[in-house]
Structure 1
Amino acid sequence: MPTLYHHPLCPHSRFVRLILAEYGIETTLVEERAAERRREFLTLDPAGKTPVLVDDDGTVVPGASVIVEYLEDCLPPDFRGLRLMPLGLHERIETRRLIEWFNVKFFDEVTNYLVMEKVYKRFLAPEIGGGAPDMDLLRVARANLRPHIRYIGYLTEARRWLAGESLTYADFAAAAHLSCVDYLGDVPWDEDETVKHWYQRIKSRPAFRPLLADRTPGMTPGPVYAELDF
């Protein structure tokens, strides 16, 4: 059984967990606090970032985007399920563009600030960056979130799913980041009904259930985090 080194509130880890679940790939989860820079973990990935997948044959696949491309390449030719990377060239470009949007831009502007300040710093020693959250950074992240919500609303008004008419990796990338922000109670769901309805649809998929059961010690999830109809 493959092993995934992850953190429960790392959005990139959540993205990979959703894809693994969607494709029905059972995985052993190993929680990793990447900031502690554990020697054994750095041996797997010198970058020291979650997630890292170790396949049954020992193949080490680091990073969310690399992992999902690897999983796509490993699907058998006769795979009959829903393929999350479209076949059409333009649809593939749009899917990859949006994966990059959420895993890089959204992360840099929103998720990284919120998760680092409200979660990771609680469990780090002061000498490696632990301590109280920086309230200025939290305000910046919440302000940055709103244009992203509007952009998701723009996409979902024009399309059935984010990258087009079919469910793709792009939807799971966006949902992974929003799920972290939602756990922390910071998503303004009342600002865009279109975004809310899109998230309800993807949140209702069986692949999402393990994420909704996640709990971080000492942190109660947001009021609608586990609700499918909110």
Structure 2
Amino acid sequence: MDYSQSAMAKLYHVPLSPFCRKVRLVLAEKKIEVELVEEKYWEESPDFLRRNPAAKVPILKFDGKTMAESTPICEYIEEKHPEPALLPRSAEGRYEVRRLVNWFDDKFHNEVTSKLLYERVNKKVMKKGFPDSTNVKAGARAVKYHLDYMAWLLDHRRWLAGDVMTLADFAAAAHLSSLDYISDVDWNRSDTVKDWYAKIKSRPAFRSILADQVPGFPPPAHYADLDF
């Protein structure tokens, strides 16, 4: 498809959502121009529910379709725009990428992102009260385990899933960048992980994410610094 002759993609998103950020990174890496529309999904407006009855973001309007769920969206983009490749050709390689995408979007999300980002930011934005300190403490403990696992992977590979950057790296970076916005990542825990993140956030695809601003939550000075 000649994208230049089609309508611009439109992504309904929330700036700090790691699932939205993953889709944004894939679109940007593929050099697909997209209009970003911030969606207060928790208000569950009738228009929003018509786009996705599950009441979740991201929602991507692309190729004349309205699509939900971040990983199927990313794989659709990959299949329609295979260059630069974000999934390996081999079945083994694709399995490992998908395993790690699921690791971050399921295990990391439930143990870390939902305990830190959602408690510190989402509750305030949605006017749902104050952070639960038990959850915050649990998230702060769990993120150490996940950083150590990433360090182990990166000690054996150039990138998380192998020798080339893949969707697994974008899934991980989407979660970590959201947490980094609120200073919840101890980058001194592993030089290996810090170097990996510096590499990935230096990519042109990361620029719009590093420019995000959430009212009431200014990012730390190092957030958009490519050299930390």
TM range, smaller chain:
over 0.9
Residue 204 (structure 2) pairs with residue 206 (structure 1): yes
The 2-side partners of 1:36 and 1:138 are apart by 25
Q: Tell me which of 159, 173, 176 is aligned to 1:175.
A: 173
Once the two structures are TM-superposed, the CA of residue 172 in structure 1 deviates from its matched residue by 0.4
Q: Tell me which of 61, 66, 72 is aligned to 1:66.
A: 72
Where 2:101 maps in the other structure, the secondary structure is: helix
Unaligned runs of 5+ in 1: none
Look up the match of 2:190: 192
Look up the match of 1:43: 50
Number of equivalences: 221
Look up the match of 1:7: 14
Once the two structures are TM-superposed, the CA of residue 223 in structure 1 deviates from its matched residue by 3.5
Q: Give the letter aligned to residue 72 of structure 1.
A: E
Look up the match of 2:60: 53
Q: Give the letter aligned to residue 22 of structure 1.
A: E
Look up the match of 1:152: 150
Once the two structures are TM-superposed, the CA of residue 56 in structure 1 deviates from its matched residue by 4.3
TM-score by length of 2: 0.94
The 1-side partners of 2:29 and 2:90 are apart by 21
Could you give the per-residue CA deviations for residues 110-142 of structure 1, whole angstroms, max 9, x where no partner exists? 1122221111111224xxxx1111122111111
Q: Tell me which of 94, 100, 107 is aligned to 1:105.
A: 107
Look up the match of 2:4: none
Off by >3 Å, runs of 4+ in structure 1: none
Contact 1:183 1:225 in 2 (8 A): yes
Q: Name the % identity.
A: 47
Residue 27 (structure 2) pairs with residue 29 (structure 1): no
Unaligned runs of 5+ in 2: 1-7
Once the two structures are TM-superposed, the CA of residue 195 in structure 1 deviates from its matched residue by 0.4
Could you give the per-residue CA deviations for residues 51-94 of structure 1, whole angstroms, max 9, x where no partner exists? 0111142x11101111001101212xxx6x42001101111100
Contact 1:204 1:228 in 2 (8 A): yes
- Which moved further from structure 2: 14-23 or 213-222? 213-222
The 1-side partners of 2:160 and 2:199 are apart by 12
Where 2:176 maps in the other structure, the secondary structure is: helix
TM-score by length of 1: 0.93
The 2-side partners of 1:25 and 1:112 are apart by 29
Q: Give the letter aligned to residue 151 of structure 1.
A: Y
Contact 1:3 1:53 in 2 (8 A): yes
